[in-house]
Amino acid sequence: MIIRVSDLQGEGLHIADPAALASPFADSSWRLTRLDLHVERDAADVVVHGELGATVPQTCGRCLESFPVDVRAAVDSRFVPRPATGENVELGEDDLETDFYTNDQLDLAALVETETTLALPMKPLCREDCRGLCPVCGANRNTVPCTCVPPPRDPRLAALAELAARFNN
């Protein structure tokens, strides 16, 4: 959804229907489930704040199974007109929280995709007690009872094991 900055008047624009953005994600398996954004002008700047929610398929970091993640993200962004000073622009300390718009147009779909991506978990887990894969045979220990004998410990780590045992007692 492209918003013309010059068309924003008075109290701004409130967007609460996820269907208004059609498909904001490059990956068609991502689904926007909740949208509550307020877009308003502050002189030449544009401020966007609100919340969004999405369902994103992820791969478990332990068992490698696919599962959906419900993502919730708070949006609080400021957009300023892109400076006309060429490619090299020196950023100040406050500029790291600022984005740019060009040609009097603000792309809300790009903002929604960025905020959703930033809200994804660093290490997605299908569940907290996921047992992962067997290091010997590779079986998913959540679904198959694995009877493999664990590999022997690396003797170079024996000193650390002794240290850990001392601290646990």
The answer on 107 and 154 residing in a single domain is no
Task: Identify whether 56 is part of a domain.
Answer: yes
Tell me the two tokens of residue 161.
């094991």
- What is the model's pLDDT at position 18? 84
Task: Identify whether 124 is part of a domain.
Answer: no
How many domains are there within the chain? 2
| pLDDT tens digits, 79-133 | 888 776 666 667 677 666 677 787 888 888 888 999 999 999 999 999 999 999 9
From 118, 144, 159, the end of a domain falls on: 118
- Would you say 98 and 82 are in contact if contact means Cβ atoms under 8 Å apart? no
Task: Identify whether 103 is part of a domain.
Answer: yes
The answer on 138 and 111 residing in a single domain is no
C-alpha pair distances (Å), 44 with each of 12, 99, 164: 13, 13, 59
Task: Identify whether 126 is part of a domain.
Answer: no
The answer on 160 and 98 residing in a single domain is no
Lowest mean pLDDT of 2-6, 27-31, 83-87, 160-164, name the range. Answer: 83-87
- What pTM, to 2 d.p., does this model score? 0.76
Task: Identify whether 125 is part of a domain.
Answer: no
The answer on 85 and 158 residing in a single domain is no
Distance CA 1, CA 21 (A): 5
Task: Examine the pLDDT at 5 and tell me if it is beyond 80.
Answer: no
The answer on 138 and 106 residing in a single domain is no
Task: Identify whether 150 is part of a domain.
Answer: yes
* Backbone φ, ψ for residue 133 (5° rounding): -100, 150
The answer on 106 and 141 residing in a single domain is no
| Structural domain range at position 103 | 2-118
